[in-house]
Amino acid sequence: MASDIKELTFSQELVSFIEEWKGKPGNLIMILHKVHEEFSYIPRDVAKKISEMLEVPLAKIYGVITFYHYFKLTKPGKFNIQVCMGTACYLKGGEDIIQELENILGIGINQVTDDGKFSIEAVRCVGCCGLAPVAVVNGKVFGSLTKDKLSEVLAEYENK
């Protein structure tokens, strides 16, 4: 069965991980985290293959994927911009940051620019309340954001 997985371009590390977790309690969530780490989202064909490998209904897999906000069903942009909408960020203008990003990039929440470079996502608290409002781009935190500062943030990624 491991050879079937390789056809979907799973890394050997992922194949080994799935085989290791196959019979363990809590395996589905652990495997989905690993898949998400590898692909940055959960492709449908991968979900189907996991369903077959674990002998779990595809509906159960999608139930887990859609229940947890962490998992994505569509591929994010090369630079995924996560705007915090936790209480502090929301009160200090998080919604304005999202609207300005939508205006600048010409896309909405959970969409990707035509060139695949940027995507925008609204997320729960990222734990940087003292820096509100905050956006995170591929793990890098940008705090005390204003609409005027967004062009500087985006410029950092334009030529990458």
pLDDT class of 27 with cuts at 50, 70, 90: very high
- Per residue in 90-116, pLDDT (tens digit) is 999 999 999 999 999 999 999 999 999
Q: Is the pLDDT of residue 47 over 80?
A: yes
Helix or strand or coil: residue 90?
helix
Q: Is the pLDDT of residue 15 over 90?
A: no
Q: Mean pLDDT score of the chain, rounded to an integer? A: 91
Helix or strand or coil: residue 77?
coil
- Per residue in 142-158, pLDDT (tens digit) is 999 999 999 999 999 98
**Which tokens sit at 17?**
């991980």
| pLDDT at site 8 | 57
The domain limits of the chain are 2-67, 79-158
DSSP string, 13-53: HHHHHHHHHTTSTTHHHHHHHHHHHHHSS--HHHHHHHHHH
**Which CATH superfamily groups domain 79-158?**
Glutaredoxin (3.40.30.10)
Instruction: Give the global pTM.
Output: 0.78
pLDDT class of 4 with cuts at 50, 70, 90: very low
Burial class (CB in 10 A: 0-12, 13-18, 19+), 3: exposed
Torsion of the alpha carbons at 98, 104, 106 and 107, rounded to the nearest 10: -30
- Per residue in 64-76, pLDDT (tens digit) is 999 988 898 989 9
